[in-house]
């Protein structure tokens, strides 16, 4: 429910035909005017800082669906500490979204690599594809790929 995934949502073409499920108010607002997008907004208590729905309602909603692809962001990621974020409630919702997805794509710039935050919501091995920038060294990319996660440095 961060700014990285919101940028992806903002780049979707107006003619895109998709079903999108999100717990992020900013992402929902960006996609609400796309006529081809069937938009499902997950409810719950809204965190002021991220404007994302969290807690029991959001967890129940993700437990009831199966998504083809999840695009998720993290405040930090590493093979040692997994995927992390500062907030426990946000971590729980991201964990539920990962469980609901057939394929998980992590969108994270290279500055997040090696960063650790308070709440862990998954392992790097839960991620099928990491899309990052060229600031992630080829050596780090190779180490991540050894764990089973494909890496695209764009």
Closest by CA position to 72, among listed 108, 39, 111: 108
* Count of domains for the chain: 1
Could you tell me the pTM of the whole model?
0.95
Measured between alpha carbons, how far is 30 from 84 in angstroms, rounded to an integer?
A: 25
The pLDDT of residue 1 = 62
Residue 65 belongs to a domain with what CATH number?
Answer: 3.40.50
The pLDDT of residue 14 = 84
Q: DSSP letters along 59-125, please?
A: HHHHHT--EEEEEE--SEEETTTEEEES-HHHHHHHHHHHHHEEEEEEE--GGGBT---SEEEE-GG
Measured between alpha carbons, how far is 77 from 112 in angstroms, rounded to an integer?
A: 6
Mean pLDDT by 10 residues, the chain (154 residues): 86 92 96 95 96 97 98 96 98 98 98 98 98 98 97 96
Q: What are phi and psi of 6, to 5 degrees?
A: -60, -35
Q: What are phi and psi of 74, to 5 degrees?
A: -140, 150
For residue 23, give the DSSP letter: S
- Sign, CA dihedral 83-86-88-89, equals negative
Measured between alpha carbons, how far is 48 from 15 in angstroms, rounded to an integer?
A: 31
| Structural domain boundaries enclosing 117 | 3-153
């Amino acid at each position: 429910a961060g700014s990285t995934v919101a940028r992806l949502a903002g780049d979707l073409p107006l003619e895109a035909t998709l079903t999108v499920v999100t717990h992020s108010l900013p992402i929902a607002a960006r996609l609400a005017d796309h006529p081809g997008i069937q938009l499902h907004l997950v409810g719950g208590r809204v965190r002021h800082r991220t404007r994302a729905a969290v807690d029991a309602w959001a967890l129940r909603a993700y437990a009831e669906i199966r998504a083809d692809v999840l695009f998720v962001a993290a405040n930090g990621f590493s093979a040692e500490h997994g995927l992390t974020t500062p907030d426990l409630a946000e971590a729980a919702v991201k964990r539920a979204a990962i469980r609901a997805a057939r394929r998980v794509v992590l969108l994270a710039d290279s500055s997040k690599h090696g960063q650790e935050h308070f709440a862990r919501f998954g392992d790097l091995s839960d991620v099928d594809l990491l899309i990052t920038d060229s600031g992630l060294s080829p050596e780090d990319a190779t180490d991540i790929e050894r764990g089973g996660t494909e890496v695209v440095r764009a």
